[in-house]
Amino acid sequence: MIRLLLLCLFGVCSSGMYPPKATAEKPNILFISLDDLNDWVGCLGGHPQAITPNLDRLAESGTLFTNAHCPAPACNPSRGAIMTGISPHVSGLYDNRQSMRGQMRDAELLPRYFSNHGYWSAGSGKILHYIIDAQSWDEYYPPKETEDPFPRTFYPNKRPVSLPRGGPWQYIETDWAALDVTDKEFGGDYLVSQWIGEQLSQTHDKPFFLACGIYRPHEPWFVPQEYFEPFPLEQIQLPPGYLEDDLDDLPPAAKQRGPNRYFAHIQEQGQWKKGIQGYLASVYFADTMLGRVLDALDSGPNKDNTIVVLWSDHGWHLGEKQHWQKYTGWRACTRIPLMIRVPKGTPGLPQGTTAGTTCDAPVNLLSLFPTLTQLSGLPAKETNDGPSLVPLLNAPNMKWPHASITYLGRPGNFGVSGQRFRYIRYDNGDEELYDIETDQYEWNNLAPKREFASKIEELKSFLPASFADYANNNSGASLPDLNWLPFNAAAEMGSNPHGDTFEIRISNKTGAPVKIFSIDGEGEKHPFGTLETGWSKPYETRPGIIWLVANSEGQPLGYFKVGNEPAHAEIPNPNP
């Protein structure tokens, strides 16, 4: 093959680096995540009022998987599994309170694997759980050294805006409002889409792995006013999957996960339809930001040599099963949009995908890592736990010999999605079974009926033989406490690190998200991302290290100085 060497000038990207120029042998990859997006997408039919023209056009241009499920119904374990290709039952990363690197210290993430095989790997926005993991990327926006994946975002000064807090148990971001700002003034996902669009508009010396993390429809559901306007409050429809007495046939373990304080509080405050309106508006906003990215790709030099993958980390309840939020094994929470478009000439699928194809095989996002390596002609990674989806991209109606497993927070809790049936089991032995063909909203639990015993055994056969233990399951109660020291701008903040490493657990009781930093011996700050309110996470440290805590604006609040042993560091509420 004769190669034409093209010399071209291109603009400097935000960090001042020149990204490399793509070759014809390996395809580019555009890897797009939308956070907390369930099936309220036009092409999936989850809610009749959803406005998602860009999601729909992407689905129409490639393959739409209509029976795709997440590895776990929470951001951290789901994203950790997707980006490493390692299942929660192997890694032991089961929930949001754990540390991805604490569980998988040496795991090679998807972008680093591609970089090590000749790609330029870059990203923007939330791809991992409130961290960037700088070592895994060649470039990031915001800069990877900050370990904070969020660009500036406009939020109201006085909060909550719509939903009064029901107590310290309520996530502070559970709120919604139309903002009197433009997309540009709002920032956030607009800035992410802008930066990603700049990269897509350039030619590159190397093939690229480019990850785009669109944060909406993650809470808070604050987006510009124009995205609320198509959803007048008086016309809002309740979720099609809502049934008032839906919990009556559930076993005790399931009922514990069904009704939660959020949904009851939202109903008491008369905010249910306003919450649905906020979610629909946020989905519409996210879809518009996706459109900016797709337009940049389609009008740029990389259109014909770029694989596009779009996914969400998990779904979201808006009243179904009397539940609000995520963390469940029901289909409203585990089922997510998954779309893949492969251009012709791709090494692992030379004919590319056929536009407008749908596939109803039960698949899992754990398969994205091996799918992309196979499509790109890269060596398979031995630690990947999921099957490649390339056979389904080649023949969407083939007989698929796999089920999709979603791990629910602790070993022994899981959901298994087959072609037609879904099975949920809890660690106390309680079970649920649903026939999705006749009961798409899972209103009728078939598990107690004898005639379905063989179907349960069939789905159980897909389960692993063993589960990794849940590690770091310590709230800090049994550890000695570190003293909280209010910040003093006049004090010298230099650490004196010495001795071996161990973990401290930092708990955020402030009622708002905080930023965590370690301080080195020179007094320089090293970011460790955001710690959400109410969360407790482990951090690796050494004796003598100072851990600084700042508010969401970066203003220091106080700090802890580590002693000679593992300890619990609780950040207090300034207004108890």
Q: Where are the domains of the chain?
A: 28-407, 485-571
The arithmetic mean of pLDDT across residues 441-464, rounded, is: 98
Residue type at 271?
A: Q
Confidence tier at 374 by pLDDT (50, 70, 90)? very high
Q: What's at 507, amino acid-wise?
A: S
Give the fold, CATH level 3, of 28-407.
Alkaline Phosphatase, subunit A (3.40.720)
Percentage of residues in the chain having pLDDT higher than 70: 94
Instruction: Summarize the confidence of residues 320-340 as an average pLDDT.
Output: 97
Catalytic member of 129, 204, 218, 323: 129
Are the beta carbons of 361 and 67 closer than 8 angstroms? Answer: yes
Tokens of 522: 């020179």
More confident of the two residues 222 and 11: 222
Sheet order of strands, 568-571 included: 536-541, 502-508, 568-571
pLDDT value at residue 472: 63
pLDDT, mean of residues 160-171: 91
SS in 3 state form for 52-64? Answer: CHHHHHHHHHCEE
Say which residues have a Cβ less than 8 Å from residue 5's Cβ, sequence separation at least 6: none
Q: What is the mean pLDDT of the chain?
A: 92
**Average pLDDT, integer, range 304-314:** 98
Rounded Cα distance between 123 and 142, Å, is 9
Give the pLDDT confidence score for residue 7 in this predicted structure: 32
Per-residue pLDDT for 473 more than 70? Answer: no
pLDDT band for 496, please (50, 70, 90 cuts): confident
For 166, the token pair is: 């029901």
Q: What is the pLDDT of residues 415-430, one digit of tens each?
A: 999 999 999 999 999 9
* CATH node for 485-571: 2.60.40.780
Q: What's the rounded Cα separation, in Å, for the pair 236 and 149? A: 33
Does the pLDDT at position 333 exceed 60?
A: yes
| 17 confidence band (pLDDT: 50, 70, 90) | very low
Mean pLDDT of 336-351: 98
Mean pLDDT of all residues in 165-192: 95
Average pLDDT in the 85-113 region? 94
Confidence check: pLDDT of 190 > 90: yes
- What size, in residues, is the chain? 576
pLDDT at 532 over 70: yes
Structure confidence at residue 449 (pLDDT): 97
| One-letter amino acid of 141 | Y
- pLDDT at residue 511, rounded to an integer: 86
Question: What pLDDT, on a 0 to 100 scale, did the predictor assign at position 24?
Answer: 46
Does position 537 have pLDDT exceeding 80, yes or no?
Answer: yes
3-class secondary-structure state, position 405: strand
Strands 525-531 and 556-561: unpaired
- In sequence order, the 6+-apart residues with CB closer than 8 A to the CB of 244 are none
Distance CA 442, CA 457 (A): 19
Q: CA triplet 469, 474, 478: central angle to 5 degrees?
A: 135
Give the torsion through C-alpha atoms of 58, 63, 68, 74, to 10 deg.
Answer: -30
Q: Respond yes or no: is residue 75 known to be catalytic.
A: yes
Query: Above 50 in pLDDT, residue 369?
Result: yes
Residue 78 has pLDDT above 60, yes or no: yes
Average pLDDT over residues 228-232: 98
Residue 536 has pLDDT above 50, yes or no: yes
Tokens of 561: 């100085």
With 60 as the cut, is the pLDDT of residue 22 above it?
Answer: no
Phi–psi pair at 335, nearest 5 degrees? -80, 135
Query: Which candidate in 47, 69, 70, 75 is catalytic?
Result: 75
Question: Band of the pLDDT at 12, cuts 50, 70, 90?
Answer: very low
| pLDDT over 90 (residue 466) | yes
Q: Which tens digits make up the pLDDT trace of 247-265?
A: 999 999 999 888 889 999 9
Q: Strand ranges (DSSP E) for 227-349?
A: 306-312, 317-318, 324-325, 338-341
Told to judge if 265 belongs to the known catalytic residues of this protein, a careful annotator would answer no
DSSP 411-472: TT-EEEE-SSEEEEE-TTS-EEEEETTT-TT--S--TT-GGGHHHHHHHHTTS-S-------
Reference 394, options 66, 62, 68; nearest CA is 62
Which strand (E) or helix (H) includes residue 77? helix 75-84
pLDDT at position 120 is: 98
- Kindly tell me if the per-residue pLDDT of 4 is higher than 70: no
β-pairing verdict for 324-325 and 338-341:
unpaired
**259 vs 271: CA distance, rounded Å:** 16
Q: Do residues 423 and 460 touch, judged by C-beta distance below 8 A?
A: yes
Rounded distance, CA 127 to CA 9, Å?
30
What local confidence, expressed as pLDDT, does residue 477 receive?
58
Q: Is the pLDDT of residue 9 over 70?
A: no
Task: Tell me the average pLDDT across 361-372.
Answer: 98
The strand pairing partners of 434, in sequence order, are 422
Residue range 529-558: mean pLDDT, rounded? 89
The whole-number pLDDT of residue 285 equals 98
Shared fold status for 28-407 and 485-571: no
Is residue 196's pLDDT more than 50?
A: yes
- State the pTM of this model: 0.87
**Average pLDDT of 70-74?**
98
Q: What is the pLDDT of residue 502?
A: 82
Instruction: Show Cβ contacts of residue 434 under 8 Å, excluding neighbours closer than 6 positions.
Output: 331, 421, 422, 442, 444, 445, 446
Mean pLDDT along residues 5-25: 39
Helix, strand and coil percent figures for the chain, each rounded to 5: 25, 20, 55
Res 272 pLDDT > 90 = yes
Q: If pLDDT is split at 50, 70 and 90, which confidence band does 20 have?
A: very low
Is the per-residue pLDDT at 165 higher than 50? yes
Cα dihedral 188, 189, 195, 198 sign: negative
Tell me: pLDDT of 340 over 70.
Answer: yes
Q: Cβ contacts of residue 113 below 8 Å, gap of 6+?
A: 369, 373, 378, 381
Could you write out the three-class secondary structure of 156-223?
CCCCCCCCCCCCCCCCCCCCEEEECCCHHHHECHHHHHHHHHHHHCCCCCCCEEEEEEECCCCCCEEE
Examine the pLDDT at 6 and tell me if it is beyond 80: no
- CB within 8 Å of 232: residues ≥ 6 apart: none
Listed range (50-64, 183-197, 364-378, 555-569) with the worst mean pLDDT: 555-569
What pLDDT does 91 receive?
97
DSSP-assigned beta bridge partners for residue 310: 32, 339
